[in-house]
Structure 1
Amino acid sequence: MRLIELIDNLIKLFKTDPDYHFFHLDGQTIVLDDYLQVRPENRSIIKQLTSSGKLQVGPFYILQDDFLISNESNARDMLIGHREAQKWTNHMAKVGYFPDTFGNMGQTPQLLRQAGLDNAMFGRGVKPTGFANATSSSDDFSSKFSEMNWVGPDGSKVLGILFANWYDNGKEIPTEKVAAKAFWDKKLASTGRYASTDDLLFLNGSDHEPVQMDLSKAIRVANELYPDIEFIHANYNMYLDQLRKDLPKNLDQVTGELTSQETNGWTTLANTASNRVPIKQRNTEVSVELEKVAEPLATLANVQLGKPYPHDQLTYAWKTLLQNHPHDSICACSVDEVSQEMQTRYMKSEQVAKYVAKESLDELSQNINTNEMAHEQGAHPFVVFNTATSEKTDTTVVEVPLEQVVFNPNKDDPKAIFDELKQKPVIHYQVKDADGKIVPSTVLDVNVKFGFRLPKDQFRQAIIKRVARIRVYLAKMKPLSWMTLRLVPQAKTSDAHLTKKNEREIENDYLKVTVEQDGRLTVLDKISGHTYHHLMQFEDTGDVGNEYVYRASDDPVYVSSNFKNDVTSLVNNDYQQSLALTIHLELPESMNEQLAYEQQAHIDYRKRTAKRVKQTQSLDLKIELVLLKDSPRLQINLNYDNQVKDHRLRVLFPTDLNVKNHYADSIFEVVKRPNQVSAKWKNPENPQHTHAFVNVHDKTRGLTVSNYGLNEYEVARDGGQIAMTVLRCIGEMGDWGYFPTPGAQCQGPQTTKIGLEFHGATEQGRLETFHHAFASQVPFSTVFPEWQNGKLEMNATWMKVATGAVKTTAVKVQEDGEGVVTRSYNLTDKAVQMNNDLANYQAFASDLLENAKSKEPERLTLQPYEIHTTLWKEQSKK
């Protein structure tokens, strides 16, 4: 509602004050969508103001937090933002605009360059330091000027501009001369202190700030007070044009990600990665459903069958998802109402993605030639798709419809139908592939349940169906492929349990995992021969911080090895072994009343003295440890009901290594980060961001810890331990006042997925663990075709994508055209061949905005750390 008032006032101001020239809409286009929901009658006025350049829009859709959203979410924010801005104006603000992002990803220069932008403006990440603006040679993330060259890991360079005096250094400018003189004397000195030129930038606005209606008068007064200085009401494009003319040659250079590495460590705001963990998990879930399931399936249906690609539906889903990605939203440093609304948006985006995926699967299902496969009596075909762009080994649970009855609720007796199906004898089944080979599987149950269909050409249909719920094991399924299977009756079950020597052990050809008496794990990596000890220790501490910052209370640390545990065998067959481990923690219920006082009195979190109460609360960690036959990855599934407040729960994995650096999955980059901190660092913690994995290795071996929606980790300064934050519970927002957030205590059932994998000395082995982490986040998709003839083969890899040193993040149809778009990046610091291939299509280099950069097809070689968008054109249409 305050936004509506702001733009209403702007319209008045532009109409009545000819000297008020420009207003920058914060780098976003979404604000116009929001405004026009309430003021649709003003669309033509907004169009006139944007077309004339008075209202400056773009280049993004929203101002995102780049570290906490996926690779593709970052790319689509730029793509959608550019497309939306072009609807309004030819005067888009050509600024890589990150005023308040909590750190800046290392690949920003390359992404901006690929979107046609050559600059980045940001408020955090780099620190101007030193007497007389001098910087030390050891300050790799400092600059003597607010202007600098920012170079990405691939060598892409943009002009970086730090808002050294913050993005509100020109707000509320006085118009009375005495006050104005005092204001400008101070502002000119503080801003000029870091500027490399005489072109000083003052930003007339801030958070929650209304439009300054008398700005033109304030500028006239300033020009009167300082006749040797020219004050201009400008826009960013004008500023950048003038600045580039005056820049000196001795600008400092900063490289890679900018996360305030040269500060005291308390204001990096990296702990926003661990608050409201369920929000982050839902973001992973919906992002995967949209970009890793719906889009590839819709592209497959388009390429193979000519089904129209649902651009509008997917754009709606993307916009809805991106609306959860502003930095204060996905960082969850807001009041509870913000996070509650995010959950609604997640549901909306997810429903559209699932609908698109189902429509595509239905089309594919109707065209797969299942008649090529043997028809045993009572057999039921089904097809599994791997839409991940990495090879995948996993199980999937499918519900195969054995028979179904369509009924009319107003005429038929559903109970009679239900009972008739329920009373049918249970038949034993096995799964076979198209060649008749038995596929490992387990029949979990056979049930009767309600279902429905919504036909395109008639009224809805109610169904009662009898389904067999089957766990199917699929080994090393290729990326972007499908496989046709069939459920076949058999005389008796073959799911016999194997003999085990030790009920606290599981084992396959790669690993031997033992649950020790204290609940920690000992793992023998059979490939390297190394044994890892004391893995999976849970650690719980009190937290007197807030949604922005974790700060441990001065209380004892609780570790899981000091509590009782129970172990039982869950599954032990020819393709899976799993154990159930329950650790019975007893933790303090919360912090004491002192914390509430310190919060309300707005006492700095670093000075708080609150303690945890003596009353305890049970927290049972229910852990499923899973090993699959052909997988070197240990899957750790954790479930628990959190009723404890004001605490942080982490899981620790000792590495038995001593190294200086580690590696993590960041945005379009496997980033190398130092374990040690700057000498200026005062925070005892060194939290970092990740998406899919963290890796620590030396020249002989290493381990990769993967996750699902857990974005915060820390590696010990000697490299000897990886700590993943599982949950962080706090009761206030923090920042500039007291805002209680009971929802951030994350009370209730919680689910966590973690993976553990080891590798030897080769880079190939290490990269395989990364791809296994990527693939673990993408579920299999399943359809149930009839016995039929069809134009599609029973088994196929419909697009070849490179793995190894290459990761593909997008498979979609071009926004303005008929081509297929893929986006891939180099996981390494060495040039690699990208052997992607799409039958009957030729590959052309493209920019991020899906414009072909050449008229000739190319052979794809990725340079170190390169991000490559490829436009595939059908040979007959090129």
Structure 2
Amino acid sequence: MKTVHLVQHTHWDREWYFTENDSKAVLYYFMDDLLQRLEQDKSLGPFVLDGQTVVIEDYLSVAPHQEARLRKLVEQGRIVIGPWYTQSDFLVVGAESITRNLLLGHADCQRFGGTMPIGYVPDSFGQSAQLPMFLQQFAIDYAVIWRGWSEHNVAHSEFSWQAADGSKVTTAVLPWGYGCAKWLPDDPQAGQKALETILAKQTRFSLTDHVLLPNGNDQSPFEYRVPAMLDKLNHQQDDYHFVRSSFSQFFEALDSVHITLPTYQGELISPKYMRIHRGIFSTRMDIKQLNAQLEQTLSQHLEPLLVLNWRLGLPYPQHAVDNIWREAMKSHAHDSIGGCNSDRVNAMVKNRLESGLEMANQLIDLNMKMLAEGITAQQDGKKIIIFNARPQTSAGLVELTIFTPEQDFRVVDGEGKERRWQIIEKSRQDMSIIVQELSNSTETTWYRKCLLLLEVADIPACGYQTLYLQEGVGAGFERQIKSAVKLENEWLRLEADKRGILTLTDKRNQQVYRNILQLVDGGDAGDNYNYSPPFEDWLINSDEFLTSINGEQGPLQSRLTLNWQMAVPQDLAARKERDANAELDITMSITLVNNNAWLDVAIDVNNTVRDHRLQVLLPTGVEQLTHFADQPFGLIERPNLPPEMAVWQEEQWTEAPVALYPMQSQVMMHNDTRGLCAVTKGLREYQIHEDCQDVIAVTLLRSVGWLGQANMPYRPGRASGMVLPSPDSQIQGLHRFKLSVLAMNNGADHRFWHDVELARGNLHAWLATGWSRFRTNPHGRVFPPHYSVLTWDTALHFSTLKKAQHSDALVIRGWNPTAQTLPCGTVIANGEITSVTLAETPLKALQESVPTCAPATFVITFEGAKTC
């Protein structure tokens, strides 16, 4: 006899085709009913509140008077909450976001008296290979998942899932989803008939006689009569024994069987039984870019700056920062960040991210102002603060915007030594928009607005250095900008022919990459969930549409600018007729810094056409069967051609398992002598086309007009979501995309990873003009002209520097981007240093090495620090 574990739950989408306001209204009545039923019948429960504490936050925002009732049921274990703050997507959002999601989710659970110790991920569109690592870092030994698994990965629905760093969690799959037993009838006979089909499917891949039966669905009311119906079934049949259970009780029963579970290592992105919606990685690319910008601003600019100022005696606005993270995470749910929503919801998702970035930037501006205020000037002029978030002394180029009435100016350090700079953009600026005091003036005050590339050196680790802008004084170095037809430095040479076709030569080994950065536009007959080519596509590349090309060579960098007017179809109907009745205006600016071994690329697109996808190609010339991309805190190897492509139609998969993959910001294909790597700014998708196995295609944008559609080539059958027009997902208008391109001359060696980290950038410049939108009283503190919080000599990539969540201590984190174990290196700081988990709980010993795909986190505690 099989034991069937009834787990009652709800799956709560905060937003989708409906808004968060809609869901809060429904939540009020759902929770009112749930609390009442549980209080009236003590035999009911436990009830799983979807594993995300934001549901509690939303409910109490509309029913704060119910907190005591809710808290009591949580403390009794009859309502089960956590461990997440929101049900995040794990393939699109960043590693720090996933970490903070668990950190804040656990904090909420502690306030309410209980945490579900299960990594419950019921609806994420695919599963990251890193999920076991994240869970183990928070002392979670079990996971329950749905989408992404099939027997092509592992034969059974219960298995031991291992991350690349060795972390393992016992995992159970809901092979037919969290809603497989929804809306069960009250009558035992009708219930038995309904359950025959459900349990036949549920037990198909089960390794033991213990079976999960999730009872609940999207925003669905508590089916409080089901437990009593199943109790009656226990007396009417002998095939199954039904028990009122929880995920924790199920795993206890599974452990008691003492069976050896199969082990699986890797990601789970198989769409055989359930759609994972390959396409959400590029849906609403404007939202993806905005989210990536906010994540990086928070973890690698704002938080490190706040730490620096906190160590100098200024306050650390912990709650304000947490609130920004929380609002961002409300946009990280699988539908929300996936962009597979109604236009109204996508607008709300975008607004939350924009609001978070606005708040973060204001905190940065105020903290830079307070920092500059406390520094006693060593030279004449306006102070320029160069802030370095990384834990190593840095040098290089940093962008700085200045407004000046003068034609001449120079920049010097504290000893009066001049720094070189190069103007990369300039315009006139009406200063009444910038300076509050001028806003009511009857006369317009015009200044020069210059975006500078400023050369800096010896910027202290996790610290700052002060430079000075001296206006009305000529620069004492050669600043001439010369015209150029190619880009070249010690390492690379990029040349363009008359049609704008580019050839890159790696001068270190004379490897040549022809037709690099070609643009290709094709049709998109998909929806917000899936890219899908038209049944008869028409691909158009940029080779014949160049309108102009010009180049310039400056003292710090050179730039090549290409302009195209690509003749393309206006929509799918025109593409079907092969009628190029519209134009895409595209500008590509490629820069090569004199001292860098990579290209920086900015692509501006005025998107005026519909139902299409635009990609940029990186032909590697490498004959390999696999390639690499980054994932949260790690690297993953993937096949260029998924072997399942040979069987998906015959086996009637829910969608095609095409080589359309997610990344955090990096994809590369290489051998020992040649290869290319792209490091992107917010672009989350790439593809290896079946007919071009040595070419990386990075998706810039895709434009679609429907939330869901039926019968697509890559996704046959029913529509996903709702068949609802979504015209805003055509993302018309101007868009800018950025990526860096690195040629790989010696595989993924130490120098390569160093360049990847530098290409991501962590230097920030701020000019103390004396102007401010908001005034603050002087803080009265005096700061040194340069300062360092700590140093960390390590090859790990920088993740964050922040204040500890529950104490007056610092947290610094790095991660291993390579495929090998790396030495941890030594953190040097004026305090006690402890190795901790992502949950900020102490490890037994100081960490000395870091496995592949793993973070290393340290807490630095100072004498007299308080613990919350």
Report the TM-score when normalising by structure 2: 0.87
Task: Say if 2:677 is the partner of 1:704.
Answer: yes
1:143-182 alignment, distance < 5 Å = 143=155, 145-182=156-193
C-alpha distance in 1, partners of 2:123/2:814?
A: 28
Distance 2:238 2:639 in 1: 50
Q: Which residue of 1 aligns with 2:764?
A: 780
Q: Distance in 2 between matches of 1:624 and 1:477?
A: 29
Aligned to 2:266: 256
**Residue equivalent to 2:154:** 142
Q: Which residue of 1 aligns with 2:837?
A: 847
Structure 2: 5+ residue stretches without partners: 1-24, 649-655, 709-719, 771-777
Q: Take 1:812 and 1:79, find their aligned partners in 2: how far apart are those partners?
A: 13
Q: Which one-letter code corresponds to 1:292 in the other structure? A: Q
Partner of 1:421: none
Q: Which moved more, 1:829-838 or 1:463-472?
A: 463-472
Q: Does 1:487 align with 2:469?
A: yes
Q: Could you tell which deviates more after superposition, 672-681 or 808-817?
A: 672-681
Q: 1:264–1:680: 8 Å Cα contact kept in structure 2?
A: no
Of 814, 818, 822, the residue aligned with 1:828 is 818
Give 2:626's aligned residue. Answer: 661
Q: Residues 756 and 332 (structure 1 numbering): CA distance in 2 closer, same or farther, change over 3 Å?
A: same
Paired position in structure 1 for 2:328: 321
Between the aligned residues of both structures, percent identity stands at 24
The correspondence of residues 283-322 of structure 1 with structure 2, limited to 5 A, is 283-303=291-311, 305-322=312-329
Match of 2:3 in 1: none
Choose which of 134, 144, 147 in structure 2 pairs with 1:121.
Answer: 144
Write the distance in 2 (CA, Å) between the matches of 1:155 and 1:709: 29
Deviation of the 1:15 alpha carbon:
2.8
* In 1, Cα distance between equivalents of 2:463 and 2:422: 23
Residue matched to 1:567: 549
Q: Map 1:132-531 to 2 at 5 A.
A: 139=152, 141-143=153-155, 145-227=156-238, 229-249=240-260, 251-260=261-270, 267-303=275-311, 305-371=312-378, 374-375=379-380, 379-388=381-390, 393-399=396-402, 426-442=406-422, 444=426, 447=429, 449-450=431-432, 469-474=450-455, 480-488=462-470, 489-491=472-474, 496-500=479-483, 503-531=484-512
The match for 1:64 is 88
Query: What one-letter code is carried by the residue in structure 1 that aligns with 2:359?
Result: V
> Is 2:60 the counterpart of 1:86?
no
Quick one: which amino acid aligns to residue 365 of structure 1? A
Q: 1:643 maps to which residue?
A: 608
2:501 is equivalent to residue 550 of structure 1 = no
Distance 2:578 2:331 in 1: 36
Q: Residue type matched to 2:825 in 1?
A: N
| CA displacement at 1:272 relative to structure 2 | 0.6
Q: Which amino acid aligns with 1:686?
A: A
Matching residue of 2:653? none
Give per-residue Cα distances to partners, 1:167-225, cap 9 Å, x unaligned.
Answer: 12221222223322211222232222222222211111112422224223322332232
> Residue type of the partner of 1:316?
N
Q: State the match for 1:417 in structure 2.
A: none
Hey, what's the Cα distance between the residues in 1 that align with 2:832 and 2:638?
38
Instruction: Output one character per residue of 1:248-302: Cα deviation in whole Å (capped at 9) or x when no partner.
Output: 22x2211022221xx5699442311011100101101111111111100001111
In structure 1, C-alpha distance between the alignment counterparts of 2:487 and 2:274, rounded to whole Å: 43
Q: Describe the SS at the equivalent of 1:780.
A: strand
1:52 is aligned, of 76, 80, 96, to 76
- Counterpart-to-counterpart distance in 2, 1:651 and 1:545: 20
SS in 2 for 1:231: strand
Q: Is the 8 A contact 2:126 2:269 kept in 1?
A: yes
8 Å contact 1:702–1:759 — kept in the other structure? yes
Note the C-alpha offset of 1:559. Answer: 0.8
Give 3-state SS (helix, strand or coil) of 1:546's partner. coil
Q: Tell me the distance in 2 between the aligned counterparts of 1:173 and 1:20.
A: 16
- 2:103 partner SS: helix
Change (3 A) 1:181 1:711: same
Confirm or deny that 1:713 pairs with 2:701: no
Contact 1:798 1:838 in 2 (8 A): no
User: Cα distance, 1:724 vs. partner?
Assistant: 0.2
Per the alignment, residue 619 of structure 1 pairs with 584
**Counterpart contact for 2:281–2:684, Cα < 8 Å:** yes
Q: Which amino acid aligns with 2:113?
A: T
Distance in 2 between residues matched to 1:446 and 1:747, nearest whole Å: 28
Determine helix, strand or coil for the equivalent of 2:256.
Answer: helix
The answer to whether the aligner puts 1:801 opposite 2:824 as a matched pair is no
SS at match of 2:515: strand
User: Paired residue for 2:756?
Assistant: 770
Bigger mean CA offset, 520-529 vs 645-654: 520-529
Mean CA deviation greater in 669-678 or 709-718: 709-718
Q: CA contact under 8 A between 1:445 and 1:470: conserved in structure 2?
A: no
Deviates more, 1:179-188 or 1:489-498: 489-498
Aligned residues: 804
Distance 2:676 2:579 in 1: 38
- Give per-residue Cα distances to partners, 1:308-357, cap 9 Å, x unaligned: 22111111111001000000110111111111001221122122212322
SS in 1 for 2:682: coil
Instruction: Note the C-alpha offset of 1:713.
Output: 0.4
Q: Note the C-alpha offset of 1:875.
A: 5.5
Is the contact between residue 19 and residue 216 of structure 1 (CA under 8 Å) also seen in structure 2?
Answer: no
How far apart, in 2, do the equivalents of 1:582 and 1:453 lie? 36
The answer on whether the counterparts of 2:641 and 2:693 sit within 8 Å (CA) in structure 1 is no
CA distance in 2, matches of 1:827, 1:736: 36
Which residue matches 1:597? none
CA 1:572 to 1:321, structure 2 compared with 1: closer, same or farther past 3 Å? Answer: same
Cα distance in 1, alignment partners of residues 297 and 527 from structure 2: 31
Alignment partner of 2:703 out of 722, 729, 740: 729
Q: CA deviation at 1:495?
A: 5.7
RMSD between aligned alpha carbons? 2.8
Query: Given that residues 168 and 202 in structure 1 are in contact (C-alpha distance below 8 angstroms), is that contact kept between their aligned partners in structure 2?
Result: no
The 8 Å contact of residues 807 and 865 in structure 2, kept in 1 or not, is answered as no
Please give the secondary structure, in 2, of the residue aligned with 1:568: strand
Rounded to whole Å, the distance in 2 between the matches of 1:765 and 1:701 is 14
Distance in 2 of aligned mates of 1:427 and 1:185 = 83
Tell me which amino acid in the other structure corresponds to 1:839: A
Distance 1:338 1:498 in 2: 47
Whether 1:746 and 2:731 are equivalent positions in the alignment is yes
Deviation digits for residues 93-141 of structure 1, max 9, x if unmatched? 111011111111112111111101001111022213xxxxxxxxxx4x1
Q: Is the 8 A contact 1:275 1:728 kept in 2?
A: yes
Aligned residue number for residue 132 of structure 1: none
Report if the CA contact (8 A) 1:71-1:667 is conserved. yes
Q: CA deviation at 1:454?
A: 9.8
Instruction: Report the Cα distance in structure 2 between the residues aligned to 1:25 and 1:452, rounded to whole angstroms.
Output: 48
Q: Secondary structure at the match of 2:134?
A: helix
Shift of residue 793 of structure 1?
Answer: 3.7
Q: Distance in 1 between matches of 2:609 and 2:258?
A: 55
Residues 809 and 612 of structure 1: CA distance in aligned 2, closer, same or farther (over 3 Å): farther
Say if 2:83 and 2:119, in contact at 8 Å, map to a contact too: yes
Give the CA deviation at 1:645. 0.6
CA contact (8 A) 1:451 1:464 kept: no
Report the AA paired with residue 872 of structure 1: I
Change (3 A) 1:665 1:294: same
Name the CA shift for 1:186/1:785 in 2 (closer, same or farther; >3 Å): same
